[in-house]
Structure 1
Amino acid sequence: MGCDRNCGLIAGAVIGAVLALLGGILMPVGDMLIEKTIKKEVVLEEGTIAFKNWVKTGTEVYRQFWIFDVQNAQEVVANSSKIKVKQRGPYTYRVRYLAKENITHDTENHLVSFVQPNGAIFEPSLSVGTEDDTMTVLNLAVAAAPHLYPNAFVQVVLNSLIKKSKSSMFQNRTVKELLWGYTDPFLSLVPYPVNTKVGVFYPYNNTVDGVYSVFSGKDNVSQVAIIDTYKGKKSIYAVFGAEINLKGIPVYRFVLPSMAFASPLQNPDNHCFCTEKVISNNCTSYGVLDIGKCKEGKPVYISLPHFLHASPDIGEPIEGLSPNEDEHTTYLDVEPITGFTLRFAKRLQINILVKPAKKIEALKNLKRNYIVPILWLNETGTIGDEKAAQFRKQVTGKINLLGLVEIILLTVGVVMFVAFMISYCACRSKGKR
């Protein structure tokens, strides 16, 4: 009788140990199997589910614009006053709805290259007004003239054309004109062939963006679709910010660090952006990057919205700005197992450098340099509810279920082993008395 009882207790302890061992083995083995299954479908290769969805995304991507409406244009022109601006927006467009083109695979380095055709569809229901809303903004052609033509004699000629066209430092333009292009009256009078169309994003429709080069995820699934280079140059990087929950899916948030817009003294990687000694104070100012080389020499600078993380001297000549982290930070929400970006917000501001020009009357009264904010944009996309539910079912749900099974087996096994061993020892001790 005692033997039967002791044998039963030992058997229970053995079963508990086996269950605990099975739970322990499932942790690495199960994770490996799931990762192998996921990896097969999430890498960017012909025939995978991820590749099909990546070529033409089903997620709706929107680009919102907030335009800085200048409130004291005449005062600035006459007295070189601070520029008072009022943010107006959002004006929203659907973008990135066209399939990627010229896709090539670099299997040796696990990279995929492509270009993204550009297209923009206005979304009235997501906008504060219409594309015909008019506001006072910097005159892009007049502001760029002294940068593109520094010769004094040429500036005298340009000044006569600016006056004849009744152009000034500022102008009234519709949202559609400012964004996508308009025929400039000053440039239309230039006697030699020039492009008379001007716009912050002109030309856009029927053009392509890229070349992009992204990781395929073949060697590291967590890097799938992460940009390696853009037009042959390393892209701005992001750093880990926090772990958050997105529609029931745990994701890692990566944010654009302030160092990405730091001065070359703080971040040597930005040395190539320090090209204008006056505006950069010998490369000590920070918060804006000169991209003029990419814009045919035009004085274009990019920054975070409202000059977030910029040195005080950058925003000092501008009134009406209120930078804050929540509204103006760029981020990516990445599901860590698949490496999929499930939500993102790309936020950038377009600015133009304006300098005094003695030979151009529209600019001759200026006593300082201005980096004038034109607009800022928020390009954003979020996984839809239907796709989020599908993702939870196919990925998160299976992982959670496996994790639950592992914990149950391990817990039950350990409890059984400990309980039966204690009972066995107690019975042995009692039997010896």
Structure 2
Amino acid sequence: MQVVVQVMVLVVVGVVLIAGTLIFQLCFSSVFDKMLSNKLLLVPGSNTLESFKSPPVPIFMQFWLFNVTNSEAVLEGAVPVLQQVGPYTYEEKQQKYDLIFHDQEGSVTYLQNKTFYFREDLSEGHKENDQVTTINAVMMSLGAKLEALSSALRVPIEIWFVRFDVKPFVTKSVGELLFHGYDEPLLKQLASLTNDPIHATGKFGFFYPKNNSNDGTYTVYTGVKDMAVYQNIVRWRGKENLEFWKKDMWGGNSCNLLNGTTGNQFPRPMSKHEKLWLYTAELCRSIYAEFQKEVTHGHLTLYRYVLPAQLLSDAPENYCYCHDNFTCRASMINVSPCRKGAPVVMSTPHFYQGNPKDAQEVVGLNPQEKEHETYLDIEPTTGVTFRAAKRIQVNMVLRRYGNLPSFRNVPNLILPVLWVNESAEVPLERTAALHRTLTLPFTLVDVATGILVTLGVALIVVAIVKVIVALRGRKPNKKWKVEKDKDLSVTEKLNDRNYS
């Protein structure tokens, strides 16, 4: 009876160990998933919120400018000859502030300042005072706006150009062309008409005065209500949709939708089969990326997403972004609707993925995938961007605006001004820490599962051995009794034989 109890106890404990351990292993994934989601929530006092407000990862902006080496000849109709100069590297600091949480919606509204510091040590010998000849963006913008005016009104405009010595090309330092701005007296004259405070400064730069400034309020989901939309943009500048673009080919407003995140974080877990949506203020629209391949960064395996060629292709689904027939080209988007009418065309660097004819309208472009492709490398379990390179080119429309004498002989084309690579990469030591966070719990669970399952199996085996031993212990007694009876029988026969 004692053996039976022992066997039953061993079997029950063994089965419970095996079953319980396997069930825990199956449930642990969802438990860990819930714990990870809770850790990512944007809530007051969390470490994630602090990283959200001020990203700890170094961000760099590298600029390459196109120096027009034959500007005088271009005014007579020659093909522009461009010399790419750079990189001019700036370190970018981001700081989110004035956070307002909306608990009922599960979102947070904030402003974000971006500040840029020139890093000469990372600029390969280039300096901010290097001189570059490029298009006069102020003059081009005026020409585009005044093209629709009557010829009688164009004459005083041309007189203004002469009075202020405004010419289609300018030669300025890199620092002035980018963030510092250069004096442009014509802008002060226009300020009384436009009521634009930037014009009142009398300065112009392609990124002036963006240094230490923001581009409006963002409202994003915190994940408290639903992690499936984590950090997706709810509103930008207080509005749920954009107002820049036309109806799409189906008559809807899809081109004005605010889709996706700002690009630093995405809803988890990532899927190779789903598009990755993000909003970029530079293009004034939402864009998407598609999975390309797996890449490694330290111990981590990341998903690389790239912008597909069809995103900016010359196709019917993109006609809602077309401002005019002249600039409606592959790899480009005319952003004048969100740039106060300025004839600015954003594109991929060197018109990568565009029509080769556009690159051949000037001399000096050489589109290359490795140099000019935009990509994001994302850790699929957390949805965190660990490495990224956002590459965008700024172009101006060069045209014979309204037969103004200054533009009478220039070629009609899209003229590259500069391109920028905004990049970030999480240091390898942080990838090692995340790898431990993501793998160590599962490794410990796997080891514990192995040990406990082995122990459970061992207990069951012990129980089986005990049963066998018990059975064998009974059989020898029975055999001994049979043999004893047999011996007695033989003895009796011998005795009978001896005494008969």
Q: String of CA shifts for 1:290-325, please: whole Å, max 9, x gaps.
A: 111211110111111111222334333122212222
3-state SS of 1:96 partner:
strand
Structure 1's 188 and 360: CA in aligned 2 closer, same or farther, altered over 3 A?
farther
Residue equivalent to 1:203: 209
1:391 corresponds to which of 434, 437, 453 = 434
Q: Distance in 2 between matches of 1:334 and 1:273?
A: 28
C-alpha spacing 1:21/1:70, structure 2 compared with 1 (3 Å): farther
CA distance in 2, matches of 1:263, 1:111: 36
Displacement after TM superposition at 1:191 (Å): 9.8
Percent of residue pairs bearing the same amino acid type: 27
Q: Structure 1 pair 107/183, CA: closer, same or farther in 2 (3 Å)? A: same
Q: Give the Cα–Cα distance (whole angstroms) in 2 for the partners of residues 400 and 326 of structure 1.
A: 36
User: What are the residue-to-residue correspondences of 1:13-52 with 2, within 5 Å?
Assistant: 21=19, 24-52=22-50
Alpha-carbon shift at residue 403 of structure 1 (Å) = 6.3
Aligned to 2:252: none
User: Which residue does the alignment assign to 1:315?
Assistant: 359
- 1:175-220 per-residue CA deviation (whole Å, 9 max, x = no partner) reads 1111121112554666956623211111113421232333323355
Q: Which amino acid aligns with 2:338?
A: C
Distance 1:242 1:417 in 2: 47
When residues 121 and 374 of structure 1 are mapped into structure 2, their CA distance, relative to the original with a 3 A threshold, is same
**Distance of 2:347 and 2:299 partners within structure 1:** 33
Q: Distance in 1 between matches of 2:107 and 2:152?
A: 51
2: CA distance between counterparts of 1:418 and 1:68? 77
**Partner in structure 2 of residue 89 of structure 1:** 86
Contact map agreement 1:95 1:118 (CA 8 A) in 2: yes
Asked whether the 8 Å contact 2:18–2:456 carries over to 1, the reply is yes
Unpaired runs of at least 5, structure 1:
none
In the alignment, is residue 120 of structure 1 matched against residue 127 of structure 2?
no
> Once structures 1 and 2 are overlaid, which stretch shifts more, 317-326 or 358-367?
358-367
Distance 1:306 1:406, change over 3 A: farther
Q: 1:299–1:352: 8 Å Cα contact kept in structure 2?
A: yes
Does residue 148 of the first structure (1) align with residue 145 of the second (2)?
A: yes
Distance 1:169 1:215, change over 3 A: same
AA matched with 1:218: V
| 1:345-384 superposed matches below 5 A | 345-357=389-401, 359-367=403-411, 369-384=412-427
Structure 2 counterparts to residues 9-408 of structure 1, below 5 A: 21=19, 24-81=22-79, 83-97=80-94, 99-128=95-124, 129-150=126-147, 151=149, 152-180=151-179, 181-187=181-187, 195=199, 196-221=202-227, 224-227=230-233, 230-231=236-237, 232=239, 233=242, 234=258, 235=279, 236-263=287-314, 265=316, 267=317, 270-280=318-328, 285-357=329-401, 359-367=403-411, 369-393=412-436, 395-402=437-444, 404-405=446-447, 408=450
Q: Where does the alignment leave 5 or more consecutive residues of structure 2 unmatched?
A: 243-257, 259-278, 280-286, 470-474, 476-500
Aligned-CA RMSD value: 3.6
Deviations 1:46-78 (A, max 9, x none): 122211111112111111111111122222111
SS in 2 for 1:209: coil
Distance change in 2, residues 1:279/1:336 (3 Å): closer
Indicate the structure (1 or 2) with the bigger Cα radius of gyration.
2
Letter in 1 for 2:146: Y
Change (3 A) 1:415 1:133: farther
Q: What secondary structure sits across from 1:179 in the alignment?
A: helix
Q: Amino acid of the residue matched to residue 401 of structure 1?
A: T
Distance 1:24 1:191 in 2: 73
Q: How far apart are residue 419 of structure 1 and its match? A: 10
Higher RCO structure, 1 or 2 (CA under 8 Å, sep 6+)? 1
Q: Is the alpha carbon distance of 1:198 and 1:410 closer, same or farther for their aligned partners in structure 2, counting shifts above 3 Å?
A: farther
Which deviations, in whole Å up to 9, do the C-alpha atoms of 1:216-274 show, x marking residues without a partner? 23355465435455444412222223222222122222222333313350x2xx44421
Distance 1:241 1:216 in 2: 28
CA offsets per residue over residues 132-173 of structure 1, 9 Å max, x none? 111111111122221122223333222223234443222211
Q: Secondary structure at the match of 1:118?
A: strand
- The verdict on how the C-alpha distance between 1:409 and 1:255 changes in structure 2, with shifts beyond 3 A counting, is farther
Question: Amino acid of the residue matched to residue 279 of structure 1?
Answer: T
3-state SS of paired residue (2:326):
helix
1:11 positional shift: 10
Aligned length, in residue pairs: 414
- TM-score normalised over the length of structure 1: 0.82
Q: Is residue 10–residue 459 contact of structure 2 (8 Å, CA) maintained in 1?
A: yes
Q: Is the 8 A contact 1:221 1:339 kept in 2?
A: no
What is the Cα deviation at residue 118 of structure 1?
2.5
Cα deviation, residue 399, structure 1: 4.3
Q: Which SS does the other structure have where 2:338 is aligned?
A: helix
Q: Distance in 2 between matches of 1:332 and 1:286?
A: 22
The 1:347/1:413 distance shift into structure 2, 3 A limit, reads farther
Distance 1:419 1:366 in 2: 92
How far apart are the structure 1 equivalents of 2:410 and 2:456? 79
- Matching residue's letter, 2:154: Q
Q: Using the alignment, how far apart are the partners of 1:78 and 1:413 within structure 2?
A: 89
Residues 49 and 408 of structure 1, relative CA distance in 2, 3 Å threshold: same
Q: Are residues 318 and 402 of structure 1, via their aligned partners in 2, closer, same or farther at CA, if it must alter by over 3 Å?
A: farther
Residue 46 of structure 1 aligns to a residue whose secondary structure is coil
Contact 1:30 1:402 (8 Å CA) reproduced: no
Cα 1:362–1:52 change in 2 (3 A) is same
